[in-house]
């Protein structure tokens, strides 16, 4: 057992006494810090099979057979090499994202990362773990990059080597919620690049691109383009919550 874990377990009774454990989504009492209550666990929508062989979008129980490709991927094949989403966007996942991103609940990162890890491809590929970057102004304002926290947790679980600074956001971009595809592309044009010092390890590497929520896919596309331009062999997107088309407007307002 690591020293960090030993200290955490030793202090747990004191922490629970001072701060009784509450569900981070609804505030109900729970058995341990960082856990969800039964109702919120039940409300969390976990992607299942069958799903698109290209983007892992779930088809539902009555969907096509294994290996089918969804209509969006057929009409516009994605640049990425798969999506691993811990949950689908819904009420509970929205609350958890907001708590992590805007509520400074950074202790949620391990829980969300474990849910992502459960959906990662079991292909044995050694990947470099790269978080979606924040512009330095946004980083100074928030104090942390929630994608980097998730990436750090995944690296700590042994899913790859962390390259927290591989991508850099050269310019601030507005909120993409409510923008059309052309406006999103224009806003992100030239915004995200691979840091010069990180280009050699990225060249020829398999990448796991980590973010908290995948909404329109515009930001992840910009990151994937930058990584593949730098020579990345593959880019798998790993996120906590994935927004399906019917939930996109609400998710844009929460971003």
DSSP label of 13? H
pTM to 2 decimal places: 0.85
Whether 68 contacts 50, CB under 8 Å: yes
Q: Say yes or no to pLDDT of 116 above 70.
A: yes
Q: Please name the residue that has the structure tokens 């100074």.
A: 140
In DSSP terms, which residues pair with 58 in a beta bridge?
Answer: 51
Q: For residues 201 and 205, give the distance between their C-alpha atoms in angstroms, rounded to a whole number.
A: 7
Q: Please name the residue that has the structure tokens 């609400």.
A: 250
Q: What is the pLDDT, as a whole number, of residue 12?
A: 46
Q: What is the pLDDT, as a whole number, of residue 15?
A: 44
**pLDDT tier at 255, thresholds 50, 70, 90:** low
Q: Say yes or no to pLDDT of 248 above 90.
A: no
DSSP label of 167? E
Q: Say yes or no to pLDDT of 13 above 90.
A: no
Q: For residues 54 and 61, give the distance between their C-alpha atoms in angstroms, rounded to a whole number.
A: 18
Q: For residues 239 and 119, give the distance between their C-alpha atoms in angstroms, rounded to a whole number.
A: 10
Q: For residues 231 and 186, give the distance between their C-alpha atoms in angstroms, rounded to a whole number.
A: 23
Q: pLDDT tens across 174-187, in order?
A: 666 666 667 777 77
**pLDDT tier at 10, thresholds 50, 70, 90:** low
Q: What is the CATH number of domain 44-254?
A: 3.40.50.2020
Taking residues 116-141, report their average pLDDT: 92
Q: What is the pLDDT, as a whole number, of residue 7?
A: 41
Q: Which of 66-70, 101-105, 218-222, 234-238 is modeled with the greatest confidence?
A: 234-238
Q: For residues 91 and 42, give the distance between their C-alpha atoms in angstroms, rounded to a whole number.
A: 11
Q: What is the pLDDT, as a whole number, of residue 11?
A: 46
Taking residues 224-234, report their average pLDDT: 97
DSSP run (H or E) holding 129: strand 127-131
Q: pLDDT tens across 191-224, in order?
A: 899 999 999 999 999 999 999 999 888 899 999 9
Q: What is the pLDDT, as a whole number, of residue 240?
A: 96
In DSSP terms, which residues pair with 129 in a beta bridge?
Answer: 162, 208
Q: For residues 255 and 251, give the distance between their C-alpha atoms in angstroms, rounded to a whole number.
A: 6
Q: For residues 166 and 130, give the distance between their C-alpha atoms in angstroms, rounded to a whole number.
A: 6
Whether 88 contacts 59, CB under 8 Å: no
Q: What mean pLDDT is reported for the chain?
A: 85
- pLDDT, greater one: 126 or 186: 126
Whether 127 contacts 239, CB under 8 Å: no
Residues of the chain above pLDDT 70, percent = 83
The pair of structure tokens assigned to 32 is 């341990």
Angstrom distances, CA of residue 35 to CA of 48, 95, 148: 22, 14, 21
Query: Cα–chain-centroid distance for residue 37?
Result: 22
Taking residues 233-241, report their average pLDDT: 97
Q: What is the pLDDT, as a whole number, of residue 22?
A: 85
Cis peptide before 211 (omega within 30 of 0): no
Q: For residues 121 and 236, give the distance between their C-alpha atoms in angstroms, rounded to a whole number.
A: 9
Rg (CA), the chain: 18
Q: pLDDT tens across 150-167, in order?
A: 999 999 999 999 999 999
């Amino acid at each position: 057992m690591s020293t960090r874990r030993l200290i955490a377990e030793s202090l747990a009774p004191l922490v629970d006494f001072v701060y009784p454990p509450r569900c981070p989504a609804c505030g109900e009492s729970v058995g341990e810090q960082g856990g969800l209550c039964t109702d919120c666990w039940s409300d969390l929508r976990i992607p299942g099979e069958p799903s698109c062989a290209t983007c892992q979008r779930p088809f539902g129980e009555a969907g096509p057979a294994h290996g089918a490709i969804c209509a969006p991927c057929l009409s516009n094949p994605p640049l990425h090499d798969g999506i691993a989403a811990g949950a689908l966007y819904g009420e509970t996942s929205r609350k958890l994202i907001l708590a992590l991103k805007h509520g400074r609940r950074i202790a949620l990162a391990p829980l969300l990362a474990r849910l992502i890890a459960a959906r990662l491809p079991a292909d044995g590929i050694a990947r470099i773990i790269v978080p979606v970057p924040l512009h330095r102004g946004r980083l100074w304002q928030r104090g942390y990059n929630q994608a980097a926290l998730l990436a750090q947790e995944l690296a700590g679980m042994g899913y790859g080597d962390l390259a927290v600074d591989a991508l850099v956001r050269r310019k601030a971009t507005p909120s993409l919620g409510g923008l059309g595809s052309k406006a999103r592309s224009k806003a992100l044009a030239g915004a995200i690049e691979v840091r010069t010092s990180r280009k050699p390890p990225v060249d020829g590497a398999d990448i796991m691109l980590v973010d908290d929520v995948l909404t329109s896919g515009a930001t992840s596309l910009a990151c994937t383009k930058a990584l593949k331009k730098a020579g990345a062999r593959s880019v798998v997107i790993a996120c906590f919550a994935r927004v399906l088309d019917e939930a996109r407007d609400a998710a844009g307002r929460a971003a």
